[in-house]
Structure 1
Amino acid sequence: MTLLNEIHKKIADRIIKSILPMLSEMSISVFLCGKKPDAKGGGREKIKKMLETKTYGLGIDVYYPEDIFEELLRGGKEHNLLDLENILADSVHVVVILPESPGSFTELGAFANAVALKDKLLILLDAKYKTHKSFINLGPIKFLQEKTESVVYWVDNKKLIEEANKNIYLSFLPDSGKIDAILEQHVRHYVRHIAGKNITKSTLSNPIYAQNFIFACLYAFEKLKVDDMRYILHSCDTGCDNKDDVAMVLSAALNILVFHKDIVLANGEYRLSKEGLRRLKRFMNRSKIKADVQAEFDKLRAEYLNDAFRGKKYCRITFKRAVPI
């Protein structure tokens, strides 16, 4: 282990203890299930934008479960459906499902019967199918309504327009705008309602928590060589008994961030991209924690630079914010 490795580990451990709890306490994590984002007629992207629109106060951050599941399945360890359901339940406050594809119908049935998930669901359904005696309505939907704390919300465009017309600020909008405005209010309300009854696991075995950790490391260090990143992922003080499982989750989180271009790998070094920095800033700018998080980052960055370059001819280091490429 080199001196630089020791410095990286010390700062990474401080990030876990001081910064990650602040980032997490101001965020509601949501898994959004439905048609793939590139599928025609899918509503996932629309709902995602509705949930993530507001950046102040307690924010809502949306993730696609297939990204995490696919990476974990590639990680070398065999996972069964129960393992993945438990990871899902521990990682997010709410699971929003739009049953609009065969895959999302399957997810609805599986999650409704999962003990760890059955009280975390928000199901968005078209009101025109409300009275249909279908398998979905008579099976998982009926069960969720009668036996769980989950919410089944029937989207009725006519009622949404009527509600918007009663609002002086929304009544001038076209019908599509009225529908979107009221639907956003309702969906955000139910997400917050469900999230208020649920907690997530605040350790690096949580893939969402792991992504935030990698963001924070790259913001503090500005850039990391591949070997340095690997060392941090395998040596940091995770607070978990099984470090191999945590290292696998962290590696999966790293691959997800690279795939979505939130971080970039160039010339053997990881850096935050502009999109990644924007996403991290969205976490940091939430009103109650903005000053505290920025102050802690500034302190860690200055400490890292002074430790890393102490004794060199340019020993007096001033703080410089991480600059994305």
Structure 2
Amino acid sequence: MIDEKSIVKNTYDLIYKKDVDYSLNIFLCGADTNKTKSIRNLLNIEFQKDAKFNTVFPEFVFASLFKKKKNNLFELEDDLAKNVDVIVLPLEGPGTLCELGAFTMNEELLPKIIAINDRKYDKKKSFINLGPVDLIRKQNSKNYILFEKGKEELILDEVIDRVRNQRYEKKSTYNLDNFFNLSRFILYLIALFQPITIGKLKSLLSLVETDKVKSKHIETALQILIQKNRIISEYKIDHELDFYFLSRAGHIYFYEELIEKLNIKKNFSLIRGEVINSIYKKKKKNMSRDKSLLV
């Protein structure tokens, strides 16, 4: 029987706390990514090319938020203020206009918004232009970008450069109530315990003594890792559960880059060996039990 509490502690101390994070955390709004020509989808493709960018979609956060009826949109705004560095908001439909109106009313979120508007609506005297858009322009005119329908690709570099070069008041923090931080810690646990279910992940995260993990953030953190192509999920019919593994890119990042950089290859190999032996012993025990039932 392995000491999971000790393994979780070592993962936190030896990997998570040593891995200094310089990434930019992006809340990417806009039209459905199934619309391949949407600005959100085009930007998402570009963001995925650079490991510096972490992106999360509103639907990931909303899904976990509304599983608990006591949560509300004000709590979402509070989460965004704590978690994200920038909100990229192409105005591509009624939903994005609602998001723009809500987010610009929050003093902490307003400086983080980069709004992208169709040029043909720029001069119209509308509530959006006279209210939320005007607030963004007054806050920072560079955070308001115009595009022409059918020529969306032409503004991609401008948006990426704005995200990359904007000044951020980032603080080095390891709090696991930040779902981007949590995604990094979960990646390390998956590397150690793969294949792993969300139930097992929650059990391991409950063993963290230095911080309290919000259960509503776990699925969001997993989606961030899937979006970043660090992990994949696979549904196993015999277990009726989703299992999470490192993707090929995640394997290369973790085994060939991260543990080499942190100089923890020996320590990690020992811990992973313990986990594999435990899984093998458990399977062997179950096989013996199944054989006895057949006799």
Could you report, residue by residue, the CA deviation over 1:113-169 in whole angstroms, capped at 9, with x for unpaired residues?
112211111111222332222221111111111135871112368xxxxxxxxxxxx
Match of 2:249 in 1: 278
Match of 2:5 in 1: 9
- SS of 1:204's equivalent? coil
- Shift of the 61–206 alpha-carbon distance from structure 1 to 2, 3 Å rule, reads same
Match of 1:300 in 2: 268
- SS of 1:188's equivalent? helix
Structure 2: runs of 5+ lacking an equivalent: 282-295
Q: How does 1:16-31 map to 2 (within 5 A)?
A: 16-21=12-17, 25-31=21-27
- Structure 2: which amino acid aligns with 1:263? S
C-alpha distance in structure 2 between counterparts of 1:211 and 1:30, whole Å: 14
Match of 1:169 in 2: none
- Calculate the TM-score normalised by the size of structure 2: 0.76
Could you report, residue by residue, the CA deviation over 1:178-203 in whole angstroms, capped at 9, with x for unpaired residues?
x73x6333212211233533458632
Counterpart among 237, 255, 260 of residue 291 in structure 1:
260
- Shift of the 283–196 alpha-carbon distance from structure 1 to 2, 3 Å rule, reads farther
- Shift of the 234–95 alpha-carbon distance from structure 1 to 2, 3 Å rule, reads same
- Paired residues of 1:23 and 1:283 also in contact (CA < 8 A): no
Match of 1:189 in 2: 161
- Shift of the 111–307 alpha-carbon distance from structure 1 to 2, 3 Å rule, reads closer
Please tell me whether residue 80 in structure 1 is matched to residue 88 in structure 2.
no
C-alpha distance in structure 2 between counterparts of 1:282 and 1:33, whole Å: 27
Counterpart among 39, 61, 71 of residue 68 in structure 1:
61
- Paired residues of 2:116 and 2:144 also in contact (CA < 8 A): yes
Could you report, residue by residue, the CA deviation over 1:62-88 in whole angstroms, capped at 9, with x for unpaired residues?
2102212211221x3611222111111
Match of 1:223 in 2: 195
Point out the more displaced range, 197-206 or 187-196: 197-206
Q: How does 1:127-166 map to 2 (within 5 A)?
A: 127-147=119-139, 151-155=143-147
- Paired residues of 2:101 and 2:132 also in contact (CA < 8 A): yes
- Percent of aligned positions with the same letter in both sequences? 22
Match of 1:250 in 2: 218
- Shift of the 283–236 alpha-carbon distance from structure 1 to 2, 3 Å rule, reads same
Match of 1:213 in 2: 185
Q: How does 1:32-181 map to 2 (within 5 A)?
A: 32-39=28-35, 42-55=38-51, 59-74=52-67, 76=68, 78-147=70-139, 151-155=143-147, 180=153
- Shift of the 191–232 alpha-carbon distance from structure 1 to 2, 3 Å rule, reads same
- Paired residues of 2:8 and 2:207 also in contact (CA < 8 A): no
- Paired residues of 1:122 and 1:153 also in contact (CA < 8 A): yes
- Paired residues of 1:72 and 1:252 also in contact (CA < 8 A): no
Displacement of 1:34: 0.7
C-alpha distance in structure 1 between counterparts of 2:63 and 2:259, whole Å: 33
- Calculate the TM-score normalised by the size of structure 1: 0.70
C-alpha distance in structure 2 between counterparts of 1:54 and 1:257, whole Å: 14
Q: Aligned pair count? A: 276
Structure 1: runs of 5+ lacking an equivalent: 158-174, 314-325
